[in-house]
Structure 1
Amino acid sequence: TDRLKQYAAQLGSDCAFFIGDEPMQGTGRGEQLTPIELSLKDKYLVVIKPDVHVSTAEAYAGVKPQAPAIPLRNIIHLPLEKWKHQLTNDFEKTILTNYPVIAQLKEQFYARKAVYASMSGSGSSVFGIFDEPPKADPSWQSLAHWSGWLR
C-alpha cells in the first residue's frame, strides 16, 4: 500500500489519505500521514455535499493557519462533546461566510443533536457525528448525501 499511496499523492496532495482504512492525521499539504488512535465505533455519521463548489484556490486564499491552543492529537482524546469548542477547521472562517448553505447545513446538524459537525477539508461537504440517526431535514434529500453507523 505504500507504493499505492505514493501514486495517489501524485494525483493530489491529500489523495493518499483515502488509500488506507485507519484514522490518520494529515500534515503539510495533506501528504504527510501519521496514524492516530481514534474510535468512533457506534456513532452515526451523516455527510452532505451541497450543490455548491468551493475552489481549492479560494479556500486557501482565505485561510491563515494558526497553531491550535491544544494540539490535535490531544483534542481527539477529549470526549466527543468537547470537540465542538476545541476542534476547528481553519477553512470555515471564510468559506461559511461566502457560502451560507454550508453554514446552514452545519447549524442543521447541531440543531438535530450532532455531537460534532464540521465542514470537511476545504469544502463543500459537511459532516455530522451523532449518537443516533437524526431526523433528516427535507432539503437533504435533494443533495448528495451518505449516512450510516460507524463500526
Structure 2
Amino acid sequence: MNNASSMSADVVSLCAYAKINIHLKVLAKRKDGFHNLESIFQRISIADYLSLEKSSDSRSCTVESPLMPLPVGNTLTEAWKAFCNVSDVDTGVRVRLIKNLPAGSGLGAGSSDAAALLKAANELFAMPLSDSELTTLALQVGSDVPFFLKSSAGIVTGRGEVFEPIRARTDCFGILIWPDVQSSTKEAYELLDNQKEALSHECEAWGYEKLAAQYMAPFKTWRFVNDFQPVLEQRYPVIGRVRKELYEQGAAFAQMSGSGSAVFGLFSSESLMASAFQVLAKRWSWCKPFLLLA
C-alpha cells in the first residue's frame, strides 16, 4: 500500500493518501448500473491518518474523527463489516481518524480511508487475508477502493476494479486547491448522462498504450481530459476559476480531480510551485502543495 505504518501487538497506524485523476473518461453505462471508466490514478503526498486498535467489544467498529464528524454509516464501518464477514475475528476495533482531506473533493478520501482500514485490520489480526481477498472486499466498499491497496500510479478501467500499474512520475511539484464546493458523485454522473443524451454520442476509450505514452510525455503536451470537468464547471464556475488561476501562476497542467471539486496544478520546478503557492494560498483557504508518490 506504500504507506508509512507502525505496528505493535494491538495498534496499527498508517497514512491514507489521496489520489488525483490525471485522466478520466466515463464510458458506457453497464447492465449493473455502474459506468465503465478509463482513468489514470496517481497517489499524492496529502493524506488522512488512521490508527486502529483492538477493543473488547465483539466485532464492533468505533470511529473517532475529531476534525470532521462522520455519519454513523461510513466507508470505515463498511470496510470493517466486510472484513468481519470473511474472517474469524471475534473482537472489535477502535479507529482514530485525523481527517485532512475534504469530503466531496474527488480525491478518493473515503476510499483511501477504507483501504487503509482493510490493510490495518489485516496487519492487526496477523494477516488472515490474501491480497486478492482484500481486493475483493475493497470492491464491495467502493469502485475505486482497490486502487488504494495497490501501487502509486496506474490505469484503471472497468468500474474501477481493473488496475494496470505504470511507472509513477515524480518529476514535478503540485498545488491542490479545494474551492469549498461539495461535489456529489451522483450529481456529477447525472449531469454528465444528461449531457451525453443531448449530444447523442458515445465517448471512446483511449486505450492503455496511448495513455501510457501520453503520461510519459512532457506535461505541457498532455491532452488528458476529465469528462466531469465541463459539466461541473458549468454548475460551479468557481472550479473553472481555480483552474484558470493555476495556469496563470505557471502550471504546466491543471485539471479537476475525479467528480470534483478539487483542482490540481502541476509545475515543472519547485521554485515555480513555491512562487505560485505564495499567491494562491492567499486567495484560497484550502490550498496545499504536494508531491506525486512513487
Could you say which TM-score interval applies, normalised by the shorter chain?
Answer: 0.7 to 0.9
Pairwise mapping of residues 10-29 of structure 1 onto structure 2 (< 5 A)?
10-29=140-159
Could you tell me the percent identity over the aligned residues?
36
SS at match of 1:52: coil
Aligned to 2:186: 57
SS at match of 1:78: coil
1:77-120 CA distances to partner (integer Å, 9 max, x unpaired)?
Answer: 3221111xx11111111001111111111111111111111100
Q: Is the 8 A contact 1:38 1:77 kept in 2?
A: no
Cα distance in 1 between the residues matched to 2:164 and 2:291: 25
Higher RCO by CA contacts (8 Å cutoff, separation 6 or greater): 1
Gap change, CA 1:75 and 1:127, over 3 Å in 2:
same
1:127-146 CA distances to partner (integer Å, 9 max, x unpaired)?
Answer: 11112322332122x22x43
Q: Is the 8 A contact 1:25 1:36 kept in 2?
A: yes
Q: TM-score, normalised by structure 2?
A: 0.46
Letter in 2 for 1:54: S
Q: Is the 8 A contact 1:38 1:76 kept in 2?
A: no
- Of 68-77 and 21-30, deviating more is 68-77
Give how far 1:69 is off: 6.6
Aligned to 2:289: 147
Structure 1, gaps ≥5 residues long: none
**Does residue 118 of the first structure (1) align with residue 255 of the second (2)?**
yes
Counterpart pick for 1:45 among 171, 174, 180: 174
Cα distance in 2 between the residues matched to 1:23 and 1:13: 16
Letter in 1 for 2:290: G
Aligned to 1:5: 135
Aligned to 2:75: none
Aligned to 2:236: 99
Query: What is the aligned-residue RMSD (CA, Å)?
Result: 2.1
SS at match of 2:175: strand
Aligned to 1:109: 246
Give how far 1:147 is off: 1.3
Letter in 1 for 2:240: A
SS at match of 2:279: coil
Give how far 1:11 is off: 1.2
1:43-102 CA distances to partner (integer Å, 9 max, x unpaired)?
Answer: 11111222111111121123246126783233213221111xx11111111001111111
Pairwise mapping of residues 80-99 of structure 1 onto structure 2 (< 5 A)?
80-83=219-222, 86-99=223-236
Structure 2, gaps ≥5 residues long: 1-130, 197-201
Where is the strand percentage greater, Structure 1 or Structure 2? Answer: 2
**Does residue 73 of the first structure (1) align with residue 73 of the second (2)?**
no
Letter in 2 for 1:108: E
SS at match of 2:160: coil
Gap change, CA 1:117 and 1:67, over 3 Å in 2:
same
Cα distance in 2 between the residues matched to 1:58 and 1:149: 30
Gap change, CA 1:2 and 1:146, over 3 Å in 2:
farther
Q: Which runs of 4+ in 1 moved over 6 A?
A: none
Cα distance in 1 between the residues matched to 2:159 and 2:217: 25
Report how many aligned residue pairs link the two structures.
Answer: 146
